[in-house]
Amino acid sequence: MKRWYGKLLGFFAGAALLRGNPFLGAVIGVLIGHAFDTDWFKLRGDNPYAVLGLTLEATDAEVDQAYRRLMAQYHPDRVAQAAPDIRQQAETKAREINRAYDRIKTLRRR
């Protein structure tokens, strides 16, 4: 991530909050801003690559292949004659796979 605004906002917020020692406040603010910029506080379940069983270094062809493989396995039409709870699980998993694939494609267009 090449974000910088968390550090900048942290610098000014820290300096303003610790008026007795603005340098210390600015340093603490920059550290907290850096943590936000590098997604330290991001939820771990929000990784679309993990849903597809890939790493960040996966190529576009590997992403497409993993998507097709998982959709062939979990597509709701494959379990159309199964029990309702199994169909519901397949639909949920297919939505999760589609969401992850769309998110990866969106991130790679930037």
Tens of pLDDT, residue by residue over 44-89, are 557 899 899 998 899 999 999 999 999 999 998 888 888 888 889 9
- Over the stretch 96-109, which tens digit does the pLDDT of each residue have? 999 999 999 998 88
pLDDT of 96: 92
Can you tell me the distance from the alpha carbon of 43 to that of 1, in angstroms, rounded to the nearest whole number?
Answer: 16
> pTM score, two decimals?
0.58
Other beta carbons within 10 Å of 6: 19
Backbone conformation region of residue 43, classed left if phi is above 0, alpha if psi is from -120 to 50, else beta: beta
25-29: average pLDDT? 84
Calpha distance 97→68 (Å, rounded): 10
**Domains of the chain with CATH codes:** 5-37 (no CATH), 44-109 (1.10.287.110)
Q: Is pLDDT above 80 for 5?
A: no
